Structure 1
Amino acid sequence: MAPKPISSPVPVAWYPSLAVLMLSVGLLVTASFFIYEATSSRWNRRLSKEIATGAVASFFLGFGSLFLLLATGVYV
């Protein structure tokens, strides 16, 4: 039995749209993180909110960067 070729679970035509969408969301979450850090006092900050916001921003920026690289032809 011949092995099946490896294919992407996401259609290649979606790569540019996913890159723009995910990078936009990631940058918005990052901006909200910086605004939160700049406007809240030292005593009102919550570590759990900072970690959650950072994780969400990291997720979207990471996958957005991946799809941007894939859309431009850099296969990683």
Structure 2
Amino acid sequence: MAPSAKPIGSPLPEAWYPTLALLLLTVGFLVTATFFIYEATSSRQSRSLPKELATGAVASIFLGFGSLFLLLATGVYV
């Protein structure tokens, strides 16, 4: 006989989802705002592609996980 399967569960308590969504989305929007401010205030010659890519990647990660936890908090299980 095969051993009984365990149900798949979240490693985090579901009560944390709204807080994590708010925190991650806030940080993501702040990093996005700094990216836009950097783009608007720096001259074309003084811009740095690695800095732009790093800032964009960090904002994308925070906004992506924030969106995931927002969907989970509202009951849309992805």
| Pairwise same-fold verdict (TM > 0.5) | yes
CA distance in 2 between partners of 1:64 and 1:4 (Å): 28
**Runs of 4+ in structure 1 displaced over 6 angstroms?**
none
RMSD (Å) for aligned C-alpha atoms: 0.4
> What is the aligned residue count?
76
Report the Cα offset of residue 32 of structure 1: 0.1
For 2:75, what is the secondary structure of its paired residue? coil
> % of aligned pairs identical?
76
Query: Which structure has the greater CA radius of gyration?
Result: 2
Q: Once the two structures are superposed, what CA deviation does each residue of 1:17-73 show, in whole Å capped at 9, x if it has no partner?
A: 000000000000000000000000000000000000000000000000000000000
Q: What TM-score results when the alignment is normalised by the length of structure 1?
A: 0.99
State how far apart, in whole Å, the 1-side matches of 2:34 and 2:12 are: 29
Structure 2 residues not aligned, in runs of 5+: none
Structure 2 length as normaliser, TM-score? 0.96
Residue number in structure 2 paired with 1:45:
47
